Amino acid sequence: MSFIYRYLSLHYKNLVDALTRITEQPLGNLMTIVVIGIALALPAGLRVMVSNISTMSDSWDAAADFTIYLEMTVDETRANELARNIEQRTDVRRAILIDRAQALVEFQNYSGFGEALETLQVNPLPHALIISPTGGSTSDVSELAMALEGMEETALVQLDTAWVKRLRSILELALRVVDIVTVLLGFGVIIVIGNTIRLEINNRQDEIEVIKLVGGSNGYVRRPFLYSGFWYGFGGGIVAILTIWGVLGLVNSPARALAELYDSSYRLIGLNFMETLMLLGTGGLLGWAGAAIATARHLRDADPE
Amino acid sequence: MIHFENVGKRYASGREALSGVSFNLEKGDMAFITGPSGAGKSTLLKLIALIERPTRGTVLVDNQNTSRIPRRRIPYFRRRIGIIFQDHKLLADRSIFDNVALPLLISSLRHREVSRRVRAALDQVGLLEHEKFSPLSLSTGEQQRVGIARAIASRPALVIADEPTGNLDPDLSLEIMRLFERFNQVGVTLLIATHDIELIDKFNCRRLRLDQGRVVEMPKSNGL
Ligand SMILES: Nc1ncnc2c1ncn2[C@@H]1O[C@H](COP(=O)(O)OP(=O)(O)O)[C@@H](O)[C@H]1O
Ligand SMILES: [Mg+2]
């Protein structure tokens, strides 16, 4: 019992001592910690961004509107009737008729082909219906599409989800890139901390020598440096968390304004509790690893072979 | 306690510091190693503390063949020996108390026991009231005494000292040697390297002179 107690209290003392040593040179060490924090915040922040976009895009696909181009033979009365009928469906929120004359005017105004179109004798555009589904699952929506396609007046149904699919694959790719960035910056953190610990070892060469001469094992010599490394990484984790929340705070209100434009009440998602813990843990672990490498390389004992 | 048999030490530089050293030091003995600078005194002590390894021959410490001690066991082996250095090797950024406590903390003694032993050791070298100060606030002689306190705090059966009086004036040197003599009287085995012949003439102890890399046993002085 008392042995375990002494062992734990020794570790606790090392942990506190290492923290005290870091706070003794606040400026230089703070810079190191900020650098580590940025290196951790970058992949974590990218991940937060990608996950926000992909959560948002989940609702886009079901909410995408259809455009139904009717046969040229369908007249305005029939088109109006169709619109009203379709709007009766439970899976349709709204059906709007785009009158072919109105469509032509808009097309002339916005397409840049205005003058060319004026020379045409006839209006080449059909009537079109814009259908907003009530939403629901993707299969509900494709069922609706089938039904609309089956109408004899329908010339073409266009469901504009291709861009959502494209966005999805871009996000997939982005996640892979974030993975790579994470690994690279993880190495970066290890190197930065390893180098910091190397300098610490150099500065404390005398102390190390004395400790070894009076019987300190390699583990005893190494332990304070491992704890230093841990604190650098952990401190970096805290900086990263603050950075991510800070950035989210800055972009939150423009993001909400954007969401409102799209009739959405979407709120940005930050880091949840687990992710916060993981970021701190990863920081601490990388710090420990960097210190372990540095001590393994630079504490090569003065002991004889 | 210490047994050297035909021990040679050649450094990587090619310099042969010891060539065929043989001697025996009984438990409870106190002996001096003398010889001019460069004779190999420090090297001999380093072989005992496993700071260096011999290139040939056998070194036994407390009946243990040091060549059989693997590198990772060296720290535990060293904890049984008190080592005193000419340049004290104190840590300037720790208090005198913490310096003396260092080997005890390394051996993970309980805190109360650490305090007790540190105070006892500081008391023996007459520096008890300085425990909170930095070693830098002390004179060289006092610093050396802190180094001695650190070496004896863990109550080792063997103490080795490398020129412990090298930087001290004759009075202080004598005082330090008297201190060692007192340790010896309570059973500690001591091996002390020094080039100060005049000083050791005042003690009735064995004298081993290093000459040409070999040990020559000198007659005991009568301890004037
Ligand atoms: N680490 C070393 N590498 C090479 N040569 C050394 C080393 N240490 C000591 N020597 C040489 O070994 C000889 C004995 O040195 P040392 O044991 O320090 O003698 P002393 O302590 O009697 O002055 C000297 O010639 C010294 O230059
Ligand atoms: Mg010497």
Confidence of residue B135 (pLDDT cuts 50, 70, 90): very high
Among B75, B90, B110, whose Cβ lies nearest the Cβ of A216?
B75
Q: Say how many Å lie between the CA of residue B161 and the centre of ligand 2.
A: 10
pLDDT of residue A136: 62
Chain B interface disruption, residue of A203, A214, A305, most B CBs within 10 A? A214
Helix (H) or strand (E) holding B208: strand B206-211
Q: Is the CB of B176 under 6 A from ligand 1?
A: no
Same domain, A30 and A125: no
The residue whose two tokens read 């924090």 is A37
Beta partners for B84?
B161
Report the b/e string of A12-31 with b at 16+ CB within 10 A: eebbeebbebbeeeeeebee
Same domain, A19 and A119: no
Same domain, A179 and A272: yes
Q: Which of A130, A161, A192 is the last residue of a domain?
A: A161
B11, B34, B55, best to mutate for ligand 1 pocket (most atoms within 8 Å of CB): B11
Q: Which of A161, A178, A208 is the last residue of a domain?
A: A161
CA A159 to chain CA mean position, Å: 28
Confidence of residue B224 (pLDDT cuts 50, 70, 90): low
Same domain, A138 and A266: no
Same domain, A221 and A274: yes
Query: Atom of ligand 1 at shortest distance to CA of B13?
Result: 4
At B209 the three-state DSSP class reads strand
- Report, in this order, helix, strand and coil percent for chain A, each rounded to 5: 75, 10, 20
Same domain, A180 and A286: yes
Same domain, A49 and A85: no
ipTM over 0.85 threshold: yes
Helix (H) or strand (E) holding A77: helix A76-88
At A215 the three-state DSSP class reads coil
pLDDT of residue A91: 82
pLDDT of residue A193: 94
pLDDT of residue B158: 95
Amino acid at residue number A209: E
pLDDT of residue A109: 77
Extract the tokens encoding A36.
Answer: 């580590």
Same domain, A157 and A14: no
Instruction: Sort strands A66-70 and B189-193 into parallel, antiparallel or unpaired.
Output: unpaired
Q: Is the CB of B51 under 6 A from ligand 1?
A: no
Taking the whole predicted model, whether its pTM rises above 0.90 is answered as no
pLDDT of residue A105: 81
Instruction: Tell me how many domains chain A contains.
Output: 2
Structural domain harbouring A197: 2-59+165-302
The percentage of residues in chain B with a pLDDT greater than 70, rounded to a whole number, is 98
Same domain, A198 and A298: yes
At B55 the three-state DSSP class reads coil
Same domain, A293 and A194: yes
Same domain, A197 and A277: yes
Q: Is the CB of B2 under 6 A from ligand 1?
A: no
Task: Choose the weakest-confidence range: A38-42, A257-261, B87-91, B104-108.
Answer: A257-261
Q: Say how many Å lie between the CA of residue B38 and the centre of ligand 2.
A: 7
pLDDT by residue for chain A (305 residues), tens only, comes to 566 776 777 677 777 777 877 777 777 788 999 999 999 999 999 988 888 888 777 766 556 777 888 888 888 888 888 888 888 888 888 888 888 888 888 777 777 777 777 777 788 888 888 888 876 666 677 788 888 888 888 888 877 667 777 888 888 898 899 999 999 999 999 999 999 999 999 888 888 999 999 999 888 889 999 999 999 999 999 999 999 999 988 888 888 887 777 666 677 888 888 889 999 999 999 999 999 999 988 876 555 55
Domain with A83 in it: what CATH number?
Answer: 3.30.70.3040
Same domain, A227 and A292: yes
Query: Atom of ligand 1 at shortest distance to CA of B37?
Result: 23
Contacts of B74 in chain A (CB under 8 A): 303
Q: Which of A141, A161, A181 is the last residue of a domain?
A: A161
Of A73, A47, A21, A88, whose CA–CA distance to A223 is shortest? A21
B96, pLDDT greater than 70:
yes
